[in-house]
Amino acid sequence: MTDRRPPAAAAAAGPRRPGAIGLFLRKYGENRSAVAGAMLVAGLVALAVAAPLLTGHGPRQLGAVPLLPPGAEHPMGTDDLGRDIWAQFLYGGRTSLLVGLVAAAISTAIGVFLGAVSGYFGGLVDDAIQRVTEMLSIVPRYFLAMVTVAILGPTILNVIVVIGVLSWPPATKLARAEFVTLKSRSFVDAARMSGAGPWTIIFSEILPNALPPIVVQTILAVSAAVLMEATLSFLGLGDPNLISWGLMLNKAQTFLTIAPWMAIFPGLGISLFILGLNLMGDGLNQALNPRLRREAKA
Amino acid sequence: MSGSSLPIVLYVLRRLVQAVPLVVGIVTINFILIRLAPGDPATLLAGEFADRATVDRLREEFGLNEPLWVQYATYLWKVASLDLGHSYRFRAPVTEIVLGRLPNTLLLLVVSFGLSMVLGILLAALSARRPNSAFDNTASTIAMLGYCLPMFWLGMMLILVFSSLLGWLPTGGMYSLRGNATGMALVADIARHLILPATAYAAYFMAMAYRLTRAKLIETLREDYIRTARMKGLSERRVLFGHALRNAMVPVIAVMGLDFGVMIGGAVVVETVFSWPGVGRLMYESILSRDYPLLLGIFVIVSFGVIVVNLLADLVAALVDPRIAYD
């Protein structure tokens, strides 16, 4: 961490010099929209995790009057089958969260590994990986995801794997750039001279130093995965056995003009979640990158 | 001019050659998907309710009784000769159906893209001139929203407000139901139907163009040549639009071109929400009816379209900044 910070930024920390993490937290805290983003994300995650505590209704429980507008008993109204939208909203958030986190973990793992190998070893391996990355970035990802899920079957596992496997190019490009810069630093030379093998250098020496931008990239990957899951579910390619915000919107289409609450709330959920993640990503980027920080102030 | 155009021609040729493995890769993905599907590939291509004879005919046609590499070669050859199979819902060749819907999608794309590029870049230029001003903050917030709202939800909300609540614009489709308008009346009718889907679609493009251009412009406006231009006594407008914007545009064009593959995905949801009779809506219909030959065919044709757009973006970037062609 300390290694990445130019002297100017370190000096700006003031006389008491808090640790790198303290400095970072302070910089992040100064950015109001970044704090708002983190609060949005934390709030939505809390709602999803605490779902059973926050509603007496099951997400699929029938029985209420269909198409009821929001009221005291049903804060977000009911759908065409008389199910509580608030309950669906809470449980739907779980699906978004699950798909977002796992798919982003998959794409980041693949992306960082390929980027690390590409950047560290260079040469032919680098060329090959770069070509494949370039190709995958050009392929219309959404169309490919739709075709693949339609053919393999819309299960939650297929949805997660397809999103993860199609979304690694940004992480690869980022990790490669970091590794190309970091591999010529003196601490890497030192490790090499003390007899460390290439994999040890990649994972224990360089990777920890490349982590901050990778974390930012992962947050943006979660947001992209949430959007893709919502899109697939909206098109009828989500797991039909799991309530999700996209699936709710798919159903809401038919009743858009007579029961707009069916569409408004799940869409708000997706939008706020994605907005929160992006604000966090921007904020982290500025807090981690001294150059951007100065530009934001300019 | 003729002296400087040769590198660009060579550059374009090189990019064309580089596109070949991509095309083969996309066709290969399709082939693998057909094989990966649960069950018999012939049944997949014929449809659930096909009769025995059709399944047998397809098995013969795609060489499904032959070794895998023969199947692969057969499939490559079929795609190369533009034979993407038959849709079992429409009972017509896939290529014909998709090409029939393509103009409607292109209309939506071109209008949305044009609108968003002009507005996005103009707003970015005004924002970059005074970063963190009230104007910049407002425009940046709107761009953040445009970037984060899912297109299909934005589309639904637009319908809710402008069609359902205010009754100003139609909820969907491309023509009025009873309309047998011709000439200018027809153009006006289509334009009325185009406003909402184009807005839903353009919001994201615009946000992206805005964010990219703004960031790049702020950086560019610090360059020495900008100070020189100002000291020469050029008007601020000339400096901004004549000098800074031109240089800031290159990476913007490159990124937008490269991301076109992601952007085109929006056509499916926007056309679905607004019942716009284009390729995206066709994609949704074939998902619903599990029309696999049509699904796979749309993917191939859209991919080829994206490759062409990428090449065009490369070419435009090389024309704006000739240094690119020399790399």
Which one of A107, A142, A248, A294 makes the best mutation probe of the B interface by having the most chain B beta carbons within 10 Å? Answer: A142
In the block, tokens 């370190």 appear at A10
Q: How far is CA A176 from CA A122, A136, B116, in A?
A: 9, 16, 32
Is position B66 within any domain? yes
B255 and B147 both lie in a single domain: yes
The first and second tokens of residue A99, run together, are 């798909």
CB of A202 closer than 8 Å to CB of B120: no
B132 and B157 both lie in a single domain: yes
Query: Rg of chain A over CA atoms, in angstroms?
Result: 22
B190 and B48 both lie in a single domain: no
| Residue-wise pLDDT tens digits, B190-237 | 778 888 899 988 888 888 888 888 888 887 777 777 777 777 777 777
More confidently predicted of B28 and B177:
B28
DSSP B163: I
Residues, chain B, total? 327
In the block, tokens 């590994």 appear at A113
In the block, tokens 């996209």 appear at A246
CB of A221 closer than 8 Å to CB of A104: yes
Q: Report the SS3 class of residue B93.
A: strand
B221 and B266 both lie in a single domain: yes
CB of B94 closer than 8 Å to CB of B286: no
CB of A63 closer than 8 Å to CB of A78: no
Percent of chain B with pLDDT over 70: 95
Q: What is the CATH number of the domain that holds B205?
A: 1.10.3720.10
Minimal CA–CA distance to A261: which of A69, A59, A92? A69
> What are the helix (H) ranges across chain A?
7-11, 20-30, 32-49, 51-54, 85-121, 123-138, 141-152, 156-166, 169-182, 186-193, 198-200, 207-234, 245-252, 261-288, 290-297
Residues 246-265 of A with CB under 8 A from B: 249, 252-253, 256-257, 260, 263-264
β-pair partners for B151: none
Q: How far is CA A107 from CA A31, A111, A114, in A?
A: 28, 6, 11
What sign has the CA pseudo-torsion B78, B79, B85, B90? negative
- Rounded to 5 degrees, what angle do the CA atoms A22, A26, A30 make? 170
B26 and B127 both lie in a single domain: no
| Residue-wise pLDDT tens digits, B114-154 | 888 888 888 888 888 887 888 888 888 888 888 889 999 99
Q: Report the SS3 class of residue B87.
A: strand
Residues, chain A, total? 298
Q: What pLDDT does residue B179 have?
A: 62
- Find the CB nearest A140 among B148, B153, B302: B302
In the block, tokens 């490159």 appear at B254
Residue of B nearest to A220 (CA): B148
| Residue-wise pLDDT tens digits, B60-95 | 777 777 777 877 888 888 888 878 777 777 778 888
Interface predicted TM-score (ipTM): 0.84
Q: How far apart are the first and last CA of chain B?
A: 19
Cβ contact (<8 Å) for A256 and B159?
Answer: yes
pLDDT at B2 > cutoff 50: no
Is position B161 within any domain? yes
Q: Domain total for chain B?
A: 2
Residue of B nearest to A269 (CA): B149
- Rounded to 5 degrees, what angle do the CA atoms A203, A206, A212 make? 100
In the block, tokens 């490369």 appear at B314
pLDDT at B176 > cutoff 60: yes
DSSP A3: G
Cβ contact (<8 Å) for B292 and A151?
Answer: yes
Q: Which domains can be identified in chain A, with CATH numbers?
A: 31-54+82-297 (1.10.3720.10)
pLDDT band with cut points at 50, 70 and 90 for residue B42: confident
Cβ contact (<8 Å) for A147 and B296?
Answer: yes
Give the Cα separation of B61 and B293 in Å (integer): 14
Is position B325 within any domain? no
B158 and B283 both lie in a single domain: yes
Residue A297 CB: number of other CB atoms within 10 A? 10
β-pair partners for A84: A78
Mean pLDDT (chain B, rounded):
81
DSSP A78: B
B201 and B292 both lie in a single domain: yes
Is position B210 within any domain? yes
Confirm or reject contact between A222 and chain B (CB < 8 A): no
DSSP B181: -
Mean pLDDT value across residues B152-166: 88
End of a domain among B23, B55, B80? B80
Give the Cα separation of B182 and B190 in Å (integer): 11
Is position B86 within any domain? no
- Find the CB nearest B290 among A150, A152, A278: A150
B52 and B147 both lie in a single domain: no
Is position B105 within any domain? yes
Helix axes B183-220, B151-158, angle to 10 degrees: 130
Q: Report the SS3 class of residue B92.
A: strand
The first and second tokens of residue A128, run together, are 């090959």
pLDDT band with cut points at 50, 70 and 90 for residue B325: low
| Residue-wise pLDDT tens digits, B86-112 | 777 777 888 888 898 899 899 998 898
Distance to chain B for A196, nearest Cα, Å: 36
Give the Cα separation of A194 and A179 in Å (integer): 20
pLDDT means per 10 residues, chain A with 298 residues, are 43 51 77 85 85 74 73 74 80 89 94 92 90 85 90 89 92 90 86 85 84 88 92 89 88 84 88 91 79 48
The H or E element that residue B59 is part of is helix B52-61
Q: What pLDDT does residue A109 have?
A: 95
In the block, tokens 């793992």 appear at A109
Question: Out of A212-221, B199-208, B241-250, B278-287, which region has the weakest mean confidence (pLDDT)?
Answer: B241-250
Q: How far is CA B155 from CA A95, A131, B158, in A?
A: 23, 36, 5
Q: Report the SS3 class of residue A237.
A: coil
Give the Cα separation of B263 and A2 in Å (integer): 39
Q: What pLDDT does residue A106 have?
A: 95
B283 and B162 both lie in a single domain: yes
Q: What pLDDT does residue A290 have?
A: 59
Is position B286 within any domain? yes
B164 and B24 both lie in a single domain: no
Confirm or reject contact between A295 and chain B (CB < 8 A): yes
Q: How far is CA A113 from the centre of its chain?
A: 18
Is position B172 within any domain? yes
B117 and B254 both lie in a single domain: yes
Q: How far is CA B172 from CA B50, B160, B193, in A?
A: 33, 12, 7
B167 and B267 both lie in a single domain: yes
Q: What pLDDT does residue A80 have?
A: 75
Residue B129, domain extent: 95-320
